[in-house]
A and B are shown apart, each in its own frame.
Chain A
Amino acid sequence: MSEVQRKKYSDQEKNNIFDNEFMPHIDSMYNFGYRLTFDEDDAKDLVQDTYLKAYRFINSFEQGTNAKAWLFRILKNSFINDYRKKSKQPAKVDYQEVETYYNSDDVDYGITTDLRVDAVKDMLGDEISNALNSLAVDFRTVIILCDLEGFTYEEMAKILDIPIGTVRSRLHRARNLLKEKLRSYAQNMGYKTDEDE
């Protein structure tokens, strides 16, 4: 919420923006919250908190700009600043550790996974969801934003406060990790991978 305060909206304008630009994204927001916390109540709290902040800081939102990206940024910041701090449950991989270890933009795109297209297409929804959910939160987040919510690299860079190069490399690493998970599911399903041959 570092945006410059542009103008003050009237109460009527605030209600219009809230109803017509913010509320239509509630399902995406809830799903994002749930995929970050894996808990219904925590997801509800995060989303409610996000909408309250959005209303409180509505004057820093420019009407007609990307409300969804603006809301996602607030939710992500609330998750990091509020939820993660008070959560007693340790994350599977520590956020800072991931940042330090993986934040280099220098990524080798040449590494391939011996996973077959047919095997991927035959995956069940639960397998895809479980594979995604098993990724560390930073990697999970970029996949959610890009593949599930359809944000562009530029929008993701703004939501996550990271350079576009980092978005690209993190996304690539996230998908490679996901492919590794899917590859082990594929092997369990009896699909042949190149490794078996």
Chain B
Amino acid sequence: MDKKSTASEERKLTCKDVSKCFELLESILDGENLPNSKEIMDEKLAKCAPCFEHYHLEQAIREVLKTKCTKQNTPAELVANIREKIQEIK
């Protein structure tokens, strides 16, 4: 999928329909199943520099959000408190 090895000189420096392309790339990165999405994406990444750059930046943003955002530990008493309250309304 990653076509980073492809020389960037081969890619167009401007994108004819940047808004539509970026919307499509973002939907693909968000896991939406679109018809022929893989083929369209591969072609864009191989041929269009703005699409290539946008895709990789958007991918990096999603990746750091997924992996680096600090998670809060659920307080130990929360589950017990919930169960206690449920018993009261049963």
Contact = CB atoms under 8 A, between A and B. Distances in A.
A109 B62 contact: no
Interface in A95-116: 108-110, 112-113, 115-116
B56 A44 contact: no
A63 B45 CA distance: 42
B64 A31 contact: no
B74 A30 contact: yes
Interface in B15-55: 18-23, 26-27, 30-32, 50, 53-54
A148 B65 contact: yes
Interface string A78-93: 0000000000000000
B70 interface: yes
Nearest to A154: B32
Given A40-B75, A52-B82, A125-B68, A110 B22 contact: yes
Contacts of B75: 30, 40, 44
Contacts of A125: 68-70
B79 A26 contact: yes
A112 B50 contact: yes
> What 9 A-B pairs come out closest when comparing CB atoms?
A109-B22, A125-B68, A147-B65, A110-B18, A109-B19, A120-B60, A30-B74, A110-B19, A109-B23
20 contacts: A23-B79, A26-B78, A27-B71, A30-B74, A43-B72, A52-B89, A108-B19, A109-B21, A117-B57, A120-B60, A123-B68, A125-B68, A125-B69, A125-B70, A129-B70, A143-B65, A148-B65, A168-B27, A175-B58, A175-B61
Interface of A: 11, 18, 23, 26-27, 30-31, 34, 40, 43-44, 47-48, 51-52, 55-56, 108-110, 112-113, 115-117, 120-121, 123-126, 128-129, 132, 143, 146-148, 150, 152-153, 168, 171-172, 175, 178-179, 182
